[in-house]
Amino acid sequence: MAAASLTSISLHSSASSALGLASKQCQHNNHTCCWLTERSVRSSSTRQRLSSRGLKIRSAATKQVKSPAEEDWKTKREVLLQNKVRSVDVKEALRLQKENKFVILDVRPEAEFKEAHPPGAINVQIYRLIKEWTAWDIARRAAFAFFGIFAGTEENPEFIQSVESQLDKKAKIIVACAAGGTMRPTQNLPEGQQSRSLIAAYLLVLNGYTNVFHLEGGLYAWFKEGLPAVEEEEEEE
């Protein structure tokens, strides 16, 4: 995670190539994100030159407040445990789906969902491709591209709204993503490891959902076990 002294840069011109910026990659919310970090902005004279080029420099203290999905994993894990969010393996998930009317909520990107998913699963992606084309979004795309990642993602602001349009607050839900993550402590991971599905489960309980389970091992384990899966045919143009 970036140190508190990290300086963020808001771009207000397309002349980003003139900057001495370094891209720094970090792992956040179980998906790759990139920060643009300051390398050459050291002296007040340098800051003045950047300001004259239409650039604003603000300290980390003025950064935007974290969204719920960006909360520390320790905080999210405590809330999940307090709300009795239980992890189930893939065979138990299949049984619950068949016998107890549980719905599998697949929070992977839409393209991955269409490739293969459990029968009857509902797809609401928790992260989506960056859609906007503001100067900041262009800079974020460039930062991803620096590492060869051309499909940069951002938090889906319509996640809860989309879930609510399909599932009521008392629905029995098993949240699934590719890897799954875990709340179980291990020697190397004393607080487990977060994932997209655990972040989604956290958002659901914050918004009043009371029957939320989590798919341990993720859909990777589902497909590996050879459990039922369907794929959606591509629409012909």
User: Measured between alpha carbons, how far apart are the two ends of the chain, in Å?
Assistant: 44
The residue from 26, 33, 34, 177 that is catalytic is: 177
CA atoms within 13 A on the CB side of 162: 16
Inter-axis angle of helices 196-206 and 73-82, nearest 10? 60
Q: Is the dihedral of CA 28, 165, 227, 84 positive or negative?
A: positive
For residue 117 the two structure tokens come to 């998913």
Alpha-helical regions (H) of the chain: 44-52, 73-82, 90-99, 110-115, 135-146, 159-164, 196-206, 218-224
**Is 34 a known active-site residue?**
no
State which amino acid sits at residue 28.
H
Nearest to 77 by CA among 223, 160, 191, 155: 191
To which residue do tokens 């994932």 refer?
195
- Is-contact 119 232, C-beta < 8 A? no
State which amino acid sits at residue 158.
E
> So which residues are the catalytic ones?
177
